[in-house]
Structure 1
Amino acid sequence: MISVEHLTKRYGAHTAVDGVTFACEPGTVTGFLGPNGAGKSTTMRMICGLTPPSGGSATVHGVPYRRLPNPGREIGVLLDASAQHPGRTGREVLGLAAQTMGVDRRRVGELLDLVGLNATAAKRRVRAYSLGMRQRLGIALAMLGDPRVLILDEPANGLDPEGIFWMRGVLRDFADRGGTVLLSSHLLREVEAVADRLVVIGGGRVVASGTKDELLAGSGVRVRGLEPEKLEWALTTAGVPVTRTADGALVAQADAETVGRVAAAAGAVLLELRPADDGGLEQLFLTLTAGRTVKEAVK
């Protein structure tokens, strides 16, 4: 399993990751979500030993990544599909990795077949690969050592619809066989289709964590007031997360009684109060990370 405890990263006065804590269990796919600049990639790099943390810890099966004697046999990592030698062929990339990890060379052919790189593609230099082909090669490289854990940052980037469907099946099969997957992606529909658990990060902090069913069940309530700004101010001041809909209503992450009491205390007249329509993971993401994307991107 992956265990992250109070993981923190500071760059001077800027805190990129602030006390992040979560765990990924065997047999599950965990979707790691957040807007640009939220700290997702930094967190994943710290888990993989590429960026030293300012505080906290991250372990895989109880051991920090840097202390693993042969990490490729324990953890398969894909953080950047372009981080492959452009002058080597796809088969050479996998062959050298297999030699380094002590993996049977026959595993190279098996992985090329699994990710859909045929004999012609395997002989082509990586510099001539499309982004989708590099992603497929990166996934093959991550799985080459038959690891128990996969850590993947935007693995569907550059894949066509067929490729995304294929990747979903590969990850689901890996988890169903007892593997642990930590998956970061901006393709929310795909994460919703494959993930068992979700960790949502915003401003360097975890803003929600739990099973997919638990988090998506709390879709909140839709509320409209005679004075919309007054109602929004009252809810926000009371600590209730809200987001505006296209028609000017609010979606509040609280039960109807709480919203009604807050409105009454503020003297805000309500025109509508009912369960919100289920917008799925996309609505949950927008609600939890509202107002964070631009602020983080310009720091």
Structure 2
Amino acid sequence: MITVENLTKRYGPHAAVDDVSFRCEPGTVTGFLGPNGAGKSTTMRMICGLTPPTSGSATVDGVAYRQLPNPGRRIGVLLDASAQHAGRTGREALTVAARTMGVDPQRVPATLERVGLGPTAAKRRVRAYSLGMRQRLGLAHALLGDPRILILDEPANGLDPEGIFWMRGLLRDFADRGGTVLLSSHLLREVEAVADRLVVIGGGRIVAQGGKDELLAGAGTLVRARDAQALRDALAAAGLSVTGSTDGGLLVRAEAGAVGQAAADAGVALTELRPAGSGGLEQLFLTLTATESKQEVAA
């Protein structure tokens, strides 16, 4: 289990992460989502003991990461696939990690095979690896100690569609066997396919969290009209606020019936009216982060 409680990180007057709290339970994949600069990587670095928090705490099975005697046997981490010795072969890099963690080096070939790096790739220098191969090697590092928890920051970056599909299956199987996964990714459709729970962060703060199906069901309503300004005025007059907009449509945190009634009362003809959740995770993401994104641009 991963527990984050009131985690805050300030750099001078700027709060990169502001009072963030969430839990990742065994047997689940938690998708950690947010725009660039929202605080995802900083939060993950604090969980892994790489960045000290200004306040709050993060624990793994009730223990701070830095207090774990051999963290690689409890938690597998992939935060930066490029942070590997470029002069070593893939097998050498993983063998060094095995000896550091006290893992039998005989497990190295099987772990490399598990992530799709066969004997030929294992003999190549890391400097000759593609980004996707480095990601696979980083995942091998994370899995080598047979941990029960994985923390992965953009692990599919650089993978081709086949590799993304493979990673989805690997993470789903890991969680189905009782493991805990915290996954950050900008590939929203892949997160939607594998995640059980979602934590959405914007401007350093949690803007939504909960079960994936629950959040998608409560995303609000997408509405369009030929006269967008008249629609905005009608919604405002009815006390309904627009929380975001995309592709010419307006996203409203209200039931479709209330939105449609507001438009009808104002005589505004609609061209589309539907639950925003039917647009999937991408639509939910835009709905939840639209305000934070605009504030960042304005700043």
User: Displacement of 1:77 after TM fit?
Assistant: 0.2
- Secondary structure of 1:56's match? strand
Normalising by the residue count of structure 1, what TM-score does the alignment of the two structures yield?
Answer: 0.91
**Residue in 2 that maps onto 1:243:** 244
Q: Indicate how the Cα distance of structure 1 residues 87 and 62 shifts in structure 2: closer, same or farther if over 3 A, else same.
A: same
- The one-letter code of the counterpart of 1:186 is H
**Residue in 1 that maps onto 2:135:** 135
Q: Indicate how the Cα distance of structure 1 residues 234 and 32 shifts in structure 2: closer, same or farther if over 3 A, else same.
A: farther
- The one-letter code of the counterpart of 2:181 is V
One of 258, 269, 272 as aligned partner of 1:271? 269
- The one-letter code of the counterpart of 1:92 is E
**Residue in 1 that maps onto 2:122:** 122
Render the CA deviation track for 1:58-88: whole Å, top value 9, x for unaligned.
1110011011011000110000000001111
**Residue in 1 that maps onto 2:195:** 195
Normalising by the residue count of structure 2, what TM-score does the alignment of the two structures yield?
Answer: 0.91
Q: Indicate how the Cα distance of structure 1 residues 28 and 236 shifts in structure 2: closer, same or farther if over 3 A, else same.
A: farther
**Residue in 1 that maps onto 2:185:** 185
Render the CA deviation track for 1:36-57: whole Å, top value 9, x for unaligned.
0000000000000000001111
In structure 2, the gaps of 5 or more residues are none
- Secondary structure of 2:18's match? strand
Q: 1:98, 1:104 within 8 Å by CA — same for their partners in 2?
A: yes
Q: What pairs up with 1:135-174 in 2 under 5 angstroms?
A: 135-174=135-174
Render the CA deviation track for 1:211-238: whole Å, top value 9, x for unaligned.
1110111242233468633653675795
CA–CA separation in structure 1 for the residues paired with 2:287 and 2:95:
45
- The one-letter code of the counterpart of 2:274 is P
CA–CA separation in structure 1 for the residues paired with 2:142 and 2:287:
33
User: Displacement of 1:262 after TM fit?
Assistant: 7.0
User: Displacement of 1:255 after TM fit?
Assistant: 1.3
Q: 1:148, 1:180 within 8 Å by CA — same for their partners in 2?
A: yes
**Residue in 2 that maps onto 1:40:** 40
- Secondary structure of 1:117's match? coil
CA–CA separation in structure 1 for the residues paired with 2:48 and 2:156:
20
CA–CA separation in structure 2 for the residues paired with 1:39 and 1:233:
34
**Residue in 1 that maps onto 2:220:** 220
- State the percentage of identical aligned residues: 72
Q: Indicate how the Cα distance of structure 1 residues 202 and 269 shifts in structure 2: closer, same or farther if over 3 A, else same.
A: farther
Q: Indicate how the Cα distance of structure 1 residues 67 and 129 shifts in structure 2: closer, same or farther if over 3 A, else same.
A: same
Q: 2:32, 2:198 within 8 Å by CA — same for their partners in 1?
A: yes
RMSD: 2.3
Q: 1:225, 1:269 within 8 Å by CA — same for their partners in 2?
A: no
- The one-letter code of the counterpart of 1:77 is V
**Residue in 2 that maps onto 1:253:** 253
Q: Indicate how the Cα distance of structure 1 residues 234 and 49 shifts in structure 2: closer, same or farther if over 3 A, else same.
A: farther
Q: Indicate how the Cα distance of structure 1 residues 21 and 215 shifts in structure 2: closer, same or farther if over 3 A, else same.
A: same
Q: Indicate how the Cα distance of structure 1 residues 257 and 25 shifts in structure 2: closer, same or farther if over 3 A, else same.
A: same
**Residue in 1 that maps onto 2:75:** 75
Q: 2:219, 2:253 within 8 Å by CA — same for their partners in 1?
A: yes
Q: What pairs up with 1:78-93 in 2 under 5 angstroms?
A: 78-93=78-93
In structure 1, the gaps of 5 or more residues are none
**Residue in 2 that maps onto 1:175:** 175
